[in-house]
Copies of this chain bind each other. A is one copy, B any other.
């Protein structure tokens, strides 16, 4: 019964091309979700960085995750990857215009978090007491 209602709603969404698994917004939010990508973007805000420099700036990101995160960002056109054929080889990562434009809404969220964190913490400890 409720199952049918849900199914109908799902069908509506599919018809609109809005099923959550291919939702444009979700795919962007997943970058925010991705635990490291935002830190990377913020770090690149100061200018392009080499791979290991990024690793040193973000100490608790493993090389594996750093590579993976950078690939995802590169794939979505937020970050560009420039290879220098030197020896040993070096690679620089920098923000694209698209990536840079993402910093505005990101900073908006961060500011909100900064500003409201006392309230959140208060609510949290109160909730946990009961």
Contacts and interface: CB of A to CB of B under 8 A. Distances in A.
Interface residues of A, number: 52
Nearest to A6: B59
Contacts of A16: none
B76 A109 contact: no
A52 B2 contact: yes
Interface string A3-41: 001110110010000001000110111101111001000
Contacts of A84: none
B123 A112 contact: no
B98 A109 contact: no
Contact of A123 (B30, B59, B76): B76
A101 interface: yes
